[in-house]
């Protein structure tokens, strides 16, 4: 079938399309229908089906005779270690880890928070939860204690699974102080914390609470997979919204497994036995879908890499891993390639490695800017596939279907909608715009399987954030256009979410942290273009009357506050003090104008008719010059 035929069937007859895809997986009880309404009138996929996702990812492959095939290859230049797990070995580890969790009282529907670096135990922990029907919530290791505390309080986990440390290039980051601080701050107190002890950092054990992963595992009997409903949550993954409180994206089990399996074949052209390397982190959705669940459900070999694109030890790190493990497909964020290009513009390191195994390179997480696309495709001489998706969707909305029919690539476009995504461009009043016109990217309901059914414990916020603005549609909060050929161009967020080095962050959350400083009256954080990281946050602050604090001190204080409260990944480095923020008469901060001023001269930036005082824009323009913030502009 061509892409067009596949896509139109998925839109016109989703029932037949997705039931056929579902039948490719091993269910404990097959779903009687694809789409149906639940008791609350919500559209849900595969209601009545029963399955276990860890069974699909492990047992099914061992039973099919793939037990000796490598399932997980671990490569860690930062710790100097490598490990390999076959499907049989991974099944054994996961079954015992599930046994350990069961012994700690974890069962179907219980939550478990996982705060780990990129080590095999992170994957084992996720699959062990899935085996018991428990719901994991992985928290990215780069988040500070407060972020961990907020997630613990929202998810109320029975147990926290963590490690003694992470390693950032050559810097050991002990996790225990962060976990202890998070538990001190959290109102909910999980009964147990289990540490994977790594030689680089010791744990000072609290005998009443802390346990050692390896000791516990050695004592545990393996646990069998527990049958769950297709609509039972597999995980909660928190992501940034426009306010300080992160959104707990819920992923249900059956729809996700079916959608991932489809995407592996149709988009990534990957089949059982192929090696797939996704250089991301299990703390992000990309890691959930394409380091852990996707490749393993499909019967591929996945690579878990604990390192960076550069400095571990050099800009040839990615080429080494691809060539050493014979990856057929490779996926990362464009920012990683920009970092490589900066250090090795001629790609000299490439000469040291045999990349003949590599067929396709995939990028997502932020816009693939045309210069990076050109550099990468010329350097590698292979298709470089941009694809667009979000934590909420769990798998690509728009991509190039390399496993169905590779379509011509247009630089700047993520190509075409994937199965089940009926994408429209709407103006602010919800009117559909014709081809070529830019507006809000919205997806006509129902969303395909795998996308979020709700937000954890917050159905009202789910409806408000995604469904209310354009009735009958899911609002992606991204802007863009669709051209005459049906190619989708994603231009970026239309809300206050920014993308820093492929990490999704909330400027609203940073503003809340900064607002707590005793000298700050008000502030606006905006994302300003950066050549490597895509965007960097910059804070514009108005100080309280009569405060006596100089620019350097306030910058130092606020940078430290953001690092301590959100984490180093927020990458706030610059703060500009101004007398007034540009606002509308109703008090809304004109962030877009501030962003534009960082790129263009004041004369080129129109003064909005709704502004309450145009001189505030002049002041921002002066501040950008004085503090040299425009240097971020391309």
Check: CB of residue 541 under 8 Å from CB of residue 523.
Answer: yes
Check: CB of residue 393 under 8 Å from CB of residue 451.
Answer: yes
Contact region with ligand COA (CB under 6 A), list: 241-249, 278-286, 444-452, 475-483:
278-286
593 near ligand AMP (CB under 6 A) = no
474 near ligand AMP (CB under 6 A) = no
| CA angle 220–224–227, rounded 5-degree value | 140
Check: CB of residue 192 under 8 Å from CB of residue 157.
Answer: no
Round to whole Å and give the CA distance between 131 and 596: 49
Check: CB of residue 294 under 8 Å from CB of residue 260.
Answer: yes
Per-residue contact string for residues 353-392; x = within reach of ligand COA by CB under 6 A: -----------xx---------------------------
Per-residue contact string for residues 501-530; x = within reach of ligand AMP by CB under 6 A: ---x--------------------------
- CA distances 26 to 65, 71, 261, 328, Å, are 15, 18, 12, 26
What does DSSP say about strands 70-76 and 488-493: parallel, antiparallel, or unpaired? unpaired
**Any alpha helices (H) in 223-333, and if so which ranges?**
253-266, 285-287, 294-298, 317-325
Based on CB atoms, which residue is closest to ligand AMP, 186 or 397?
Answer: 397
616 near ligand AMP (CB under 6 A) = no
* DSSP annotation string for 81-94: EEEEEEHHHHHHHH
- Please state the closest distance from residue 364 (CB atom) to ligand COA, in A: 6
Contact region with ligand COA (CB under 6 A), list: 327-335, 393-401, 475-483, 585-593:
327-335
Q: Which does 506 bind (CB under 5 to 8 A by kind): ligand COA, ligand AMP, none?
A: none
Check: CB of residue 334 under 8 Å from CB of residue 490.
Answer: no
* CA-closest candidate to residue 443, choices 472, 481, 484: 472
Q: Which does 306 bind (CB under 5 to 8 A by kind): ligand COA, ligand AMP, none?
A: none
Round to whole Å and give the CA distance between 506 and 569: 12
490 near ligand AMP (CB under 6 A) = yes
Contact region with ligand AMP (CB under 6 A), list: 198-206, 455-463, 486-494, 527-535:
486-494
Based on CB atoms, which residue is closest to ligand AMP, 520 or 569?
Answer: 569
Q: 336: which 2 tokens? A: 């990683």
Contact region with ligand COA (CB under 6 A), list: 8-16, 331-339, 466-474, 590-598:
331-339
**Any alpha helices (H) in 495-612, and if so which ranges?**
507-515, 551-565, 591-599
364 near ligand AMP (CB under 6 A) = yes
* CA-closest candidate to residue 337, choices 359, 367, 358, 357: 367
> Cα-flanking dihedrals φ and ψ of residue 172, to 5°?
-85, 130
The number of CA neighbours under 13 Å toward the Cβ of 122 is: 29
Taking CB under 6 A as the criterion, the residue among 127, 501, 513, 624 binding ligand COA is 501
Q: Which does 569 bind (CB under 5 to 8 A by kind): ligand COA, ligand AMP, none?
A: ligand COA
Q: Which does 618 bind (CB under 5 to 8 A by kind): ligand COA, ligand AMP, none?
A: none
Interactions with ligand AMP, residue window 412-441 (CB under 6 A): 414
Secondary structure in 3-state letters for 536-559: EEEEEEEECCCCCCCHHHHHHHHH
390 near ligand AMP (CB under 6 A) = yes
Taking CB under 6 A as the criterion, the residue among 229, 306, 369, 386 binding ligand AMP is 386
DSSP type of residue 330: E
Per-residue contact string for residues 120-159; x = within reach of ligand COA by CB under 6 A: ---------------------xx-----------------
568 near ligand COA (CB under 6 A) = yes
Taking CB under 6 A as the criterion, the residue among 162, 312, 335, 413 binding ligand COA is 335
367 near ligand AMP (CB under 6 A) = yes
Q: 516: which 2 tokens? A: 């707590």
308 near ligand COA (CB under 6 A) = yes
Q: Exposed (0-12), middle (13-18) or buried (19+): which is 604, by Cβ within 10 Å? A: exposed
284 near ligand COA (CB under 6 A) = yes
- Please state the closest distance from residue 376 (CB atom) to ligand AMP, in A: 14
237 near ligand AMP (CB under 6 A) = no
Contact region with ligand COA (CB under 6 A), list: 268-276, 370-378, 498-506, 588-596:
498-506
Round to whole Å and give the CA distance between 511 and 525: 6
E-only strand ranges, 57-134 = 70-76, 81-86, 111-115
Based on CB atoms, which residue is closest to ligand COA, 281 or 422?
Answer: 281
How far is Cα of residue 587 from the mean position of the Cα atoms in its chain?
Answer: 32
Q: Please give the residue ranges that form the binding site for ligand AMP (CB under 6 A).
A: 239, 285, 364-367, 386-391, 414, 478, 490, 492-493, 499, 504
Q: Please give the residue ranges that form the binding site for ligand COA (CB under 6 A).
A: 141-142, 166, 168, 173, 280, 284, 286, 308-310, 332-333, 335-336, 339, 364-365, 501-503, 568-569, 571
């Amino acid at each position: 079938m061509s892409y067009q035929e596949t896509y139109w069937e998925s839109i016109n007859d989703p029932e037949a399309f997705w039931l056929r895809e579902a039948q490719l997986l091993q269910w404990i009880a097959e779903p009687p229908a694809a789409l149906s309404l639940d008791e609350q009138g919500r559209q849900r996929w595969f209601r009545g089906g029963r399955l276990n996702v860890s069974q699909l990812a492990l047992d099914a492959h061992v039973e099919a005779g793939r037990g000796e095939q490598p399932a997980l290859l671990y490569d860690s230049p930062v710790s100097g270690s490598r490990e390999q797990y076959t499907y049989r070995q991974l099944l054994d580890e996961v079954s015992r880890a599930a046994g350990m969790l069961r012994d700690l009282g974890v069962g179907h529907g219980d939550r478990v928070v996982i705060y780990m670096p990129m080590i095999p135990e992170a994957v084992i922990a996720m699959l062990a939860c899935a085996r018991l029907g428990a719901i994991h919530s992985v928290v990215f290791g780069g988040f500070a204690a407060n972020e961990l505390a907020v997630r613990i309080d929202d998810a109320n986990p029975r147990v926290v699974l963590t490690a003694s440390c992470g390693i950032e290039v050559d810097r050991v980051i002990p996790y225990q102080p962060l976990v202890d601080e998070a538990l001190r701050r959290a109102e909910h107190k999980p009964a147990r914390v289990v540490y994977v002890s790594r030689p680089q950092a010791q744990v000072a054990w609290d005998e009443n609470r802390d346990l050692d992963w390896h000791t516990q595992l050695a004592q545990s009997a393996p646990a069998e997979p527990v049958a769950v409903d297709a609509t039972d949550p597999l995980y909660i993954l928190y992501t940034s919204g426009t306010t300080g409180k992160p959104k707990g994206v819920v992923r249900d089990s059956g729809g996700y497994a079916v959608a991932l399996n489809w995407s592996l074949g149709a988009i990534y052209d990957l089949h059982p036995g192929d090696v797939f390397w996704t250089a991301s982190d299990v703390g992000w959705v990309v890691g959930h879908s394409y380091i852990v669940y996707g490749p393993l459900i499909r019967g591929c070999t996945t690579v878990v890499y604990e390192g960076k694109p550069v400095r571990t030890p050099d800009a040839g790190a990615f080429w080494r891993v691809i060539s050493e493990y014979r990856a057929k497909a490779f996926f990362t964020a464009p920012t990683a390639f920009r970092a490589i290009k900066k250090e090795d513009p001629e790609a000299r390191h490439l000469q040291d490695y045999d990349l003949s195994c590599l067929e396709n390179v995939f990028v997502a997480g932020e816009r693939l800017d045309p210069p990076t696309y050109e550099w990468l495709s010329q350097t590698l001489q292979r298709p470089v596939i941009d694809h667009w998706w979000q934590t909420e969707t769990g798998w690509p909305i728009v991509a190039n279907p390399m496993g169905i029919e590779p379509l011509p690539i247009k630089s700047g476009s993520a190509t075409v909608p994937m199965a089940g995504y009926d994408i429209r461009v709407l103006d602010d009043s919800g009117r559909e715009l014709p081809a070529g016109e830019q507006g809000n990217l919205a997806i006509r309901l129902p969303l395909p399987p795998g996308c979020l059914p709700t937000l954890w414990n917050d159905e009202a916020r789910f409806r408000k954030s995604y469904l209310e603005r354009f009735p009958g549609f899911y609002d992606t909060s991204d802007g863009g256009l669709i051209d005459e050929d049906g190619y989708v161009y994603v231009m970026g967020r239309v809300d206050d979410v920014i993308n820093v080095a492929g990490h999704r962050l909330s400027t609203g959350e940073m503003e809340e942290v900064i607002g707590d400083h005793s000298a700050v009256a008000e502030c606006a954080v905006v994302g300003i273009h950066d050549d490597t990281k895509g965007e960097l946050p910059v804070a514009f602050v108005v100080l309280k009357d009569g405060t006596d604090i100089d620019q350097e001190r306030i910058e130092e204080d606020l940078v430290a506050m953001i690092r301590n409260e959100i984490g180093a990944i927020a990458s706030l480095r610059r703060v500009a003090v101004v007398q007034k923020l540009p606002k509308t008469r109703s008090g809304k901060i004109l962030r877009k104008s501030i962003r534009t001023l960082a790129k263009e001269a004041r004369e080129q930036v129109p003064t909005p008719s709704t502004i309450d005082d145009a001189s505030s824009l002049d002041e921002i323009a002066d501040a950008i010059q004085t503090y040299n913030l425009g240097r971020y502009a391309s």
